[in-house]
């Protein structure tokens, strides 16, 4: 299993879409991923445009697309995967810059919370890479913010293992906004039940950060926080037999 956040890129462009953010296909274009650009511009893409304010940031789930071989290079997926584009920007309108990202990174290193590239993202190799209650302009390292999937009714570690097996969350800074392009195993097989995308800072799996409530919804555990989006998947795309197989295989692993 691998969950990685790729290097941050910086571009300057002028076209904006949802709430001042670039459209998902434009983000893919800036990443020079022609296949993903085509997928997000196609009829199978699902525009969302939902924004949640989390601390000092507005977090927007811009859109989703699911299918096989949709990306030229994001983890080289050769199987069906779900891609999501999430945009983050300062709620006060302050443009994000490379210098700001570097300052956040340096602050982490100075606190002894990162000890080298190999251990950068893993809790057993890092010193107190703690998740925070919110996204703070002063304390949040955006390069440690990533997307995580949750499915109603599945034991946390089962879904976490499935969703993060080979997952990636690529980041890119464009014109003062920070974008995440997440890729996880195909979530449409679970489309007949609520599926969520959590966006938070830290390396821990969703099961340790969020809890499933009696009504089947999810919420952040005490001391943790972030955005939480219910994904608008089409129930007609669900594959109950495959979903049951995935749960059984992951539980037995």
The model's pLDDT over 104-139, given as tens digits with 9 standing for 90+, comes to: 888 777 765 554 444 444 444 343 445 578 899 988
Q: Is the separation of the CB atoms in 248 and 221 below 8 Å?
A: no
* Tokens of residue 38, six digits: 């085509």
pLDDT value at 201 more than 80: yes
The model's pLDDT over 166-179, given as tens digits with 9 standing for 90+, comes to: 567 889 999 999 99
Q: Is the separation of the CB atoms in 226 and 53 below 8 Å?
A: no
Predicted local confidence at residue 138, as pLDDT: 86
* Tokens of residue 160, six digits: 């976490």
**Integer angstrom CA distances of residue 210 from 45, 156, 183, 215:** 27, 9, 20, 14
In eight-state DSSP terms, residue 143 is G
The model's pLDDT over 26-73, given as tens digits with 9 standing for 90+, comes to: 999 999 999 999 999 999 999 999 999 999 999 999 999 999 889 887
Burial class (CB in 10 A: 0-12, 13-18, 19+), 171: buried
C-alpha gyration radius of the chain: 17
Cα–Cα nearest to 149, from 89, 103, 195 = 195
Please report where in the chains the tokens 């080979």 appear, as a residue. Answer: 166
| H or E element, residue 244 | helix 240-252
Predicted local confidence at residue 248, as pLDDT: 79
Predicted local confidence at residue 177, as pLDDT: 96
Local confidence band at 10 (pLDDT 50, 70, 90 cut-offs): very low
């Amino acid at each position: 299993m691998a969950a990685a956040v790729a290097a941050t890129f910086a571009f300057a462009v002028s076209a904006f879409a949802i709430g001042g953010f670039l459209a998902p296909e434009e983000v893919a274009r800036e990443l020079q991923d022609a296949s993903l650009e085509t997928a997000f511009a196609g009829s199978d893409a699902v525009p969302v445009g939902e924004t949640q304010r989390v601390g000092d940031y507005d977090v927007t789930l811009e859109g989703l697309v699911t299918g096989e071989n949709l990306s030229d290079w994001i983890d080289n997926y050769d199987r069906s995967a779900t891609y999501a584009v999430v945009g983050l920007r300062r709620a006060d309108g302050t443009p994000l810059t490379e210098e700001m990202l570097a300052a956040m990174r340096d602050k982490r290193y100075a606190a002894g919370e990162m000890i080298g590239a190999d251990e950068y993202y893993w809790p057993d190799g890092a010193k107190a890479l703690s998740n925070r209650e919110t996204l703070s302009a002063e304390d949040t390292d955006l390069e440690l913010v990533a997307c995580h999937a949750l499915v109603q009714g599945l034991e946390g570690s089962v879904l976490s293992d499935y969703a993060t097996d080979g997952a990636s969350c690529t980041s890119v800074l464009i014109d003062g906004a920070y974008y995440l392009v997440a890729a996880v195993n195909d979530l449409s097989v679970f489309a007949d039940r609520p599926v969520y995308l959590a966006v938070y800072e830290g390396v821990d799996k969703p099961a340790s950060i969020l809890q499933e409530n009696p009504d089947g919804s999810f919420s952040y555990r005490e001391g943790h926080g972030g955005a939480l989006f219910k994904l608008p998947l089409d129930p007609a795309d669900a594959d109950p037999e495959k979903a049951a197989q995935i749960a059984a295989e992951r539980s037995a692993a």
